[in-house]
Amino acid sequence: MLLEFDYAIMSILNTWRRGEFHEAIKKYQHVWIVPVYGIFYLWAFQYLEQRNVKAHIIHLKLDDMIPFCEYFIIPYLMWFLYIALTVGYFAFINKNKQEYYQLIFTLGLGMTLFLVVSYFYPNGQDLRPHLTGDGFFISLVRHLYRIDTPTNILPSIHVFNSVACCIAICRHNSFKHPRTVKIVTFVLSVLIILATVFLKQHTLIDVFSAFALNIVAYQMFYKPHPVRQKQPEQIFLK
């Protein structure tokens, strides 16, 4: 998938060099929603992180039974690349626009509901341990704790987006090595989900709610509806 993504980027650059900028804009007009919503989401999330409100602490006794493990910082940080590459692949490489809109609408639904929940139900957790030592992995976790507050955690976007991307990739069959890609995607998604609780970034409630929201999104955007036969991109572009 990385090689295919690199090829797509080079193709776009070559198109622009040949003076076919207008054609490129027309070809990739479906992509504009990603940066526009991304800017809105980052602005809204930053606002939620900085506002001064009392957060409801989310906690289960099972959360206390999960040990802290700093090594999970690696898959946790890989989430950012995982989501970017998946969206990029379905936006620029995959020819099936329906699959692109299914993924984008799923991500948009989950992230928007996360913002709504965080605004009307300020929430947080108090699971983070006192970090000792100056090892590489501990240092990464310490930096994560410093830039990411333990608030606005319900549902876990790390979990929701990982599952959404995993579903999109596992339903797609146009990879050169589909079995390998799907296995790697599944393993990475599982490691990211585990990382959210082993790093004490989320509670199990956050994880379960993210799974529940994925089920709802799957029923909305992937399951066929007898009454509405239009594809997602047809609804969006109407």
Q: What is the pLDDT of residue 223?
A: 86
Q: What is the pLDDT of residue 68?
A: 97
For 54-79, the pLDDT digits (tens) are 999 999 999 999 999 999 999 999 99
| Rounded CA Rg of the chain | 19
Query: What is the rounded distance in angstroms from the CA atom of residue 220 to the CA atom of residue 120?
Result: 24
For 156-194, the pLDDT digits (tens) are 999 999 999 999 999 998 888 889 999 999 999 999 999
**What mean pLDDT comes out for the span 135-155?**
96
Which two three-digit tokens encode residue 131?
């970090």
Q: What is the pLDDT of residue 9?
A: 57
For 113-133, the pLDDT digits (tens) are 999 999 999 999 999 999 998
Q: Is 18 helix (H, G, I), strand (E, B) or coil?
A: coil
Q: What is the pLDDT of residue 29?
A: 80
Concatenate the DSSP letters of all residues of 192-226 into one string: HHHHHHHTTSS-HHHHHHHHHHHHHHHHHHTS--S
Band of pLDDT at residue 1, cut at 50, 70 and 90: low
Domain holding 128, by residue range, is 2-237
For 101-116, the pLDDT digits (tens) are 999 999 999 999 999 9
Tally of domains within the chain:
1
> Taking Cα atoms as reference points, which of 163, 17, 20, 148 lies closest to residue 86?
163
Q: What is the pLDDT of residue 6?
A: 59
For 211-223, the pLDDT digits (tens) are 999 999 999 999 8
**What mean pLDDT comes out for the span 29-46?**
93
Q: What is the pLDDT of residue 233?
A: 56
The pTM (predicted TM-score) of the whole model is 0.86
Band of pLDDT at residue 238, cut at 50, 70 and 90: very low
Percent of the chain having pLDDT more than 90? 76
Query: What is the rounded distance in angstroms from the CA atom of residue 159 to the CA atom of residue 214?
Result: 9
